Amino acid sequence: MSEAEVITRIENGVGRITLNRPKAIHALNRAMCEAMIEALQAWKADDAVSSVLIDHAGERGFCAGGDIRMIAESGAGDASEAKAFFHTEYQLNHLMFEYPKPITAIVDGIVMGGGVGISEPADVRIATERTTYAMPETGIGLFPDVGGGWFLPRLAGQTGVWLALTGARLKAADTVALGIHTHYVASDAVEALKADLMANPSDPKSVADRVSGDAGDAPLNAHREAIDRLFGFDRVEEIFAALEADGSEWALKQLSILKTKSPQSLKVSLRQIRLGAGMKSFADNMAMEYALGGRVVSTHDFQEGVRAVIIDKDNAPNWQPADISGVSDASVEALFAPLPQDQSWTPLA
């Protein structure tokens, strides 16, 4: 493969985008987002392109997220580089969401954070037996951005809240059952799927329908009633209390997981999802997440979460406040305040 971190080309009527940063599990940086935007903008009015396919080189995974270390280093200063990255990344997410031609994403392997942001807007989202999906941001003091405020509350019941707060990892049977991914294709059939897509570039859904198989029984189904009952509150304190009062082994396990996450992030993420549920457009959601992201990256908990999980890898973050009771409503509200018009996020022209 070429040394470029994103490889773009047109093959048999398909605009192809291949993520090519395998050592970092294709973690996104600003240049990669810009390369994808440039290709997608060029293909919009190009009659030689009937649909778009996004995949990845190597076998380690589709995309493990964004360049978190860079974001943290920037957040420790004036956050300008982090904000510039978010601005571009969210423009890419929105461009894909509104794209006039069908997009297929082959999500083979790890897909987290920023990888979710460039696959969820696709019309056809293909999981394999190697797929592992998660939005693990509360574990590093962040929140499920890249459109999480739009996509998560639109999943069935309260599953989006559960996913956002716990950072739970799902395999294909669950992601397909929830509609996070639209089809299941075994990894050894992916190359045949791509060949079929090149032969039928204008209708990727019919190709995926023809090739897809059964992902199997969804383990999460056994807990869906409990998720809807225990995560349906607007305050994190109420979710904690409900889990404790339920007392089942599963509920107490969820509570113990939540108690390892950033209390600030739990409250921010729940508010983000509740606000996102009522938003009228994806662009409005991205503007909210941009204002929020630019502030959160400079907070103690994000800096500490990145230190604990990514830099020192001791997995022992010292959250401040250490308990949800210490996170005031006013401090959460301040993080969500709209930006002045000249600083706010806008979609691509």
Q: Are strands 103-107 and 51-56 parallel, antiparallel or unpaired?
A: parallel
Q: Catalytic annotation on 232? A: no
Query: What average pLDDT does this structure show over 76-84?
Result: 96
Cβ-based neighbours of 28, under 8 Å, separated by 6 or more:
63, 65, 66, 67, 89, 114, 115, 118
Residue of 55, 89, 137, 301 marked active site: 137
> Residue ranges of the alpha helices (H) in 68-140?
68-75, 80-97, 114-117
Give pLDDT tens digits for 136-192: 999 999 999 999 999 999 999 999 999 999 999 999 999 999 999 999 999 999 999
Q: Which of 120, 145, 174, 301 is catalytic?
A: 145
d(CA 294, CA 75): 8
- The pLDDT tens digits for 51-62 are 999 999 998 899
Tell me if residue 15 is catalytic: no
Q: Which residues contact 335 (CB under 8 A, 6 or more apart)?
A: 268, 292, 295, 296, 299
Asked if 10 contacts 28 with a C-beta cutoff of 8 angstroms, the reply is no
The catalytically annotated residue of 61, 65, 66, 294 is 66
The CB-side HSE value for 106 (13 A sphere, CA atoms) comes to 29
Per CATH, the homologous superfamily of domain 6-343 is: 2-enoyl-CoA Hydratase; Chain A, domain 1 (3.90.226.10)
- The pLDDT tens digits of the residues spanning 237-290 come to 999 999 999 999 999 999 999 999 999 999 999 999 999 999 999 999 999 999
Contact between residue 36 and residue 93 where contact means Cβ atoms under 8 Å apart = no
What pLDDT shows up at residue 3? 86
Query: Is the CB of residue 112 less than 8 Å from the CB of residue 64?
Result: yes
Q: Give residue for tokens 């930006």.
A: 339
Strand partners, 55: 18
pLDDT at position 266 is 98
Domain chopping of the chain, boundaries: 6-343
Is 167 annotated in the active site? no
Residue 11 has a pLDDT of 97
Share of the chain residues as helix, strand and coil, in percent rounded to the nearest 5: 55, 10, 35
What 3-state DSSP class applies to 22?
A: helix
Using the Cα atoms of residue 243, residue 259, residue 131 and residue 102 in order, give the sign of their dihedral.
positive
Q: What digits encode the pLDDT tens for the residues 190-234?
A: 999 999 999 999 999 999 999 999 999 999 999 999 999 999 999
Whether the per-residue pLDDT at 133 is higher than 80: the answer is: yes
pLDDT more than 70, % of the chain: 99
State the amino acid at position 229 in one-letter form. R
How far apart CA 270 and CA 231 sit, in angstroms, is 10
**pLDDT of 94 higher than 80:** yes
Q: How confident is the model at residue 2 (pLDDT cuts 50, 70, 90)?
A: low
Cis peptide before 338 (omega within 30 of 0): no
What pLDDT was estimated at residue 172?
Answer: 98
- The CA angle 178-142-306, to the nearest 5 degrees, is 120
Q: Is 46 a catalytic residue?
A: no
Strands 103-107 and 124-127: parallel
